[in-house]
Amino acid sequence: MPTETFEFQVEARQLLQLMIHSVYSNKDVFLRELVSNASDALDKLRLAALRDDAPGADTSDLHIEIEPDGDARTLTVRDNGIGMTHDEVGRLIGTIAHSGTAAFLEELKEAKDAAGAEGLIGQFGVGFYSGFMVADEMTLLTRRAGEARGTRWTSRGEGTYTMETVDDAPQGTSVTLHLKPADSDDQLHDYTSARKIKEIVKKYSDFITWPIRLVTPAPAQEAPAGGDGAEAAGGGPAAPETLNSMKALWARSREEVSDDEYHELYKHIGHDWRDPLETVRLQAEGTFEYQALLFVPAHAPHDLFTQGFRRGLQLYVKRVLIMDDCEALLPSYLRFVKGVVDAQDLSLNVSREILQQDRHIRMMQRRLTKKLLSSVKDMMARNPERYTTFWREFGAVLKEGLVTDAENRDALLAVSSFPTTYGDGGPTTLKGYLERMEDGQEDIYYLTGESRRSIENSPHMEAFRDRGIEVLLLTDPVDEVWVDAVGEYEGKPMRSVAKGEIDLGGRTGDDAGTEREQQADAYADLLGWMTEQLDEGIKEVRLSSRLTVSPACIVSDAHELTPALENMYRAMGQ
């Protein structure tokens, strides 16, 4: 087959431009990205082999190689993992499937200066393409395990790439970078230097569970004329040196591992360029032993609320990865958590279906859930700023648990906070609300709506504002559901200011009561007439004490769906 030339997808081209002219100062991370991909490819092959799903694949010596060549100014990262088919190369390397790419590029356009762009790259990460920070040309040679022929892909990172079919490609993938001239950028190091490579691998990829070997080129066949040739005599290539310790971080004691090391593991499994917000360790001893290392990301992914969101933890059995995204280990409302669980006594070839039923998996899920919730509680006390970030990013997801996880409802309520009319409007816990309640107030008042502004401008709020009664302002779609499911907190009912008759307690004495009765008499004709006129759309027109300025408002029955909730159910097709 001849060499064919293709154009990059528009988004891909924009990202590549960014990489080529990158202002990102930490260029060393390109190697971390290539090693991370190689490691994923080896994991995938072993998983396929475990499931007898890799006929013809060679799994005898799975490893990663890094081969620098100072004369040619190239650096090659090679793995003998799963590889890619011709189709996959075009699909995975020629386009960008990351959700959120469009949003990212949008933000990037707005970033006027280099510092802004750098910050965005650091937030987004660009995996394979980061090679173009240090290379003016990249070649990828790959053969899918079990297939006969391979594919060579090359690009200079500009508008196009080429692909051709090759007959003699080894299993797996090798990526060769043709390095930019060293003096083209003062952030560029000599990436063919063994010392530099070792330093980078140690720093970013030490925990990778596959051997990362440094391959030094064979010495030239003939000794240079006049040289004493002492080193060349009898030499062959040196035995490749393994650069990483391959120690599973979750099996090492806390004191032995630095925060940076944990963070690098997170970046690898989370495909994220940013540090995690929180790292949570758990070592379960006893009859069913396991270790877990869980990470809360610093930012919610863009697709967290979409159907196909890929969630789950990596499940290992005695250091062998047996499942990449095991959903059964955490409830859906913790789907943003990334991490690793390594169990001592599970079968190596359990299926997803069996795992969903497995007693031990369920035990682990309960324990991990409690551990995570208690970590959030600690965070609240120890590091309120971090908690604020956590809640901003993940509060809307966590609140799903108030509906679905009765067992942990109290723990969830303890770490939940809500915008409120009190003070500067910053979020409050229910506990905080209770502490501020005045004598005689029996209910916890809230109002749901689409935005804080629409709620604050609602006529329902008038009487509450007037009397200085605090109201929680709930704007997430799930809010309407959990307030119903939870019902009360510490014996105080949760009560919508938009539902049913509101009697603002102690403040309306007997006089007020008789006054209202008299008014009702006086206006009976008018109310009757209005009820008749509006018969189609409403149940009843009545006098209200909840308004101070607005002439009228619409109220639903205490047990009826609010308009927003009706919309939500309709959207869900129910």
Positions touching Mg ion (CB under 5 A) are 36-37, 127
Q: Figure out which of the listed residues 271, 311, 367, 507 binds ligand ADP, where binding follows CB under 6 A.
A: 271
CB 353, min distance to Mg ion, A: 29
Element (H, E) at 493: strand 492-496
Q: How far is the CB of 33 from Mg ion (least distance, A)?
A: 5
**Quick check: 443 binds ligand ADP (CB under 6 A)?**
no
Separation CA 377–CA 215 (nearest Å): 48
Spatial contact of 2 and 164, defined as CB atoms under 8 Å apart = yes
Helical packing angle, 29-50 and 194-205, nearest 10°: 60
Show the beta-strand stretches assigned E in 114-272.
135-143, 150-155, 160-166, 172-179, 212-214, 241-242
Using the rule CB under 6 A, is 355 a contact of ligand ADP?
no
Look at residue 41 and give the partner it binds from ligand ADP, Mg ion, none, a contact being a CB closer than 5 to 8 Å depending on partner kind.
Answer: ligand ADP
Of 177 and 413, the one with the shorter C-beta distance to Mg ion is: 177
Stretch 334-353 residues interacting with ligand ADP (CB under 6 A): none
What, of ligand ADP, Mg ion, none, does residue 92 touch, CB below 5 to 8 Å by kind? ligand ADP
34 or 498: CB nearest Mg ion: 34
Q: Residue 555 binds which entry of ligand ADP, Mg ion, none, with Cβ cut-offs from 5 to 8 Å by kind?
A: none
| Nearest CB to Mg ion, comparing residues 64 and 474 | 64
Output 94 or 500, the one with its CB closest to ligand ADP: 94
Quote the least distance from Cβ 132 to ligand ADP, whole Å.
Answer: 11
For ligand ADP, the binding residues in 214-253 under the rule CB under 6 A are none
Q: Under the criterion CB under 6 A, does residue 81 sit at the interface with ligand ADP?
A: yes
Name the residue nearer to ligand ADP (CB basis): 173 or 448. Answer: 173
CA nearest 211: which of 219, 203, 201?
A: 201
Between 155 and 408, CB nearer to ligand ADP? 155
CA distance 431 to 490: 9
Q: Give the integer Cα–Cα distance in Å for 471 and 465.
A: 9
Question: 393-432 burial, b for 16+ CB within 10 Å, e for fewer?
Answer: bbbbbbbbbbbebeebbebbbbbbbbbbbbeeeebbbbee
Q: In angstroms, rounded to a whole number, what is the distance separating the alpha carbons of residues 423 and 413?
A: 21
Binding residue for ligand ADP, selected from 38, 280, 376, 472, defined by CB under 6 A = 38
Of the listed pieces 33-41, 113-121, 359-367, 410-418, which binds ligand ADP according to CB under 6 A? 33-41
CB of 503 to ligand ADP, least distance (A): 57
Q: Nearest 10 degrees: CA dihedral of 417, 421, 425, 429?
A: -20
The Cα–Cα gap between 26 and 570 comes to: 49
Q: What is the DSSP string of 323-358?
A: EEEEGGGS-GGGTT-EEEEEESS--TT--HHHHHH-
**Lookup: tokens for 201:** 């691998």
Q: Cα angle at 302 between 301 and 307, to 5 degrees?
A: 100
Is position 376 an interface residue for ligand ADP (rule: CB under 6 A)? no
Of the listed pieces 79-87, 456-464, 503-511, 541-549, which binds ligand ADP according to CB under 6 A? Answer: 79-87
Residue 514 to residue 518: CA distance in whole angstroms: 6
CA 396 – CA 381 distance, rounded (Å): 20
Beta carbons within 10 angstroms of residue 210's beta carbon: 22
Residue with Cβ nearer Mg ion (37 or 369): 37
* Partner whose footprint covers residue 81, from Mg ion, ligand ADP, none (CB < 5 to 8 Å by kind): ligand ADP
Q: Considering beta carbons, is residue 171 or 192 the nearer one to ligand ADP?
A: 171
In angstroms, the CA 326 to CA 314 distance is 6
Check residue 37 for interaction with ligand ADP (CB under 6 A). yes
Q: Residue 83 or 150: which CB sits closer to ligand ADP?
A: 83
Q: Which of 79, 278, 443, 480 binds ligand ADP (CB under 6 A)?
A: 79
In the three-class reduction of DSSP (H, G, I as helix; E, B as strand; rest coil), residue 427 is classed as coil
Window contacting ligand ADP (CB under 6 A); options: 37-45, 238-246, 298-306, 483-491: 37-45
Q: What DSSP character marks residue 495?
A: E
Closer to ligand ADP by Cβ: residue 93 or 455 = 93
Question: Alpha carbon 208 to chain centroid distance?
Answer: 21
Mask for 99-138, x = binds ligand ADP (CB under 6 A): ----------------------------xx----------
How near is the Cβ of 271 to Mg ion at its closest, in Å?
Answer: 6
What is the closest distance, in whole angstroms, from the C-beta atom of residue 130 to Mg ion in the complex? 9
Rounded distance between C-alpha atoms, residue 527 and residue 549, angstroms: 19
Residue 35 binding ligand ADP, by CB under 6 A: no
- Would you give the DSSP letter of residue 78? E
Binding flags for ligand ADP, 153-182, as an x/- string (CB under 6 A): --------------------x---------
274: contact with ligand ADP by CB under 6 A: no
Residue 41 binds ligand ADP (CB under 6 A): yes
What is the C-alpha to C-alpha distance for residues 39 and 269, in angstroms, rounded to an integer? Answer: 10
Q: Please select the residue that binds ligand ADP; options are 49, 50, 92, 304, rule is CB under 6 A.
A: 92
| Helix axis angle, 259-270 to 194-205, nearest 10° | 80
Q: Which helix (H) or strand (E) holds 56?
A: none
Q: Which of 195, 185, 161 is nearest to 93 (CA)?
A: 161
Least Å distance between CB 310 and ligand ADP? 11
Q: Applying CB under 6 A, which part among 74-82, 216-224, 253-261, 346-354 lies near ligand ADP?
A: 74-82
**Structure tokens given for 360:** 């031990």
Nearer to ligand ADP, 81 or 276 (CB): 81
Work out whether 13 is an interface residue with ligand ADP (CB under 6 A): no
In the complex, least distance from residue 174 CB atom to ligand ADP, rounded to whole angstroms: 8
Nearest-approach distance from CB 36 to Mg ion, in angstroms: 5
Binding site for ligand ADP (CB under 6 A): 33, 37-38, 41, 79, 81-84, 92-93, 127-128, 173, 271
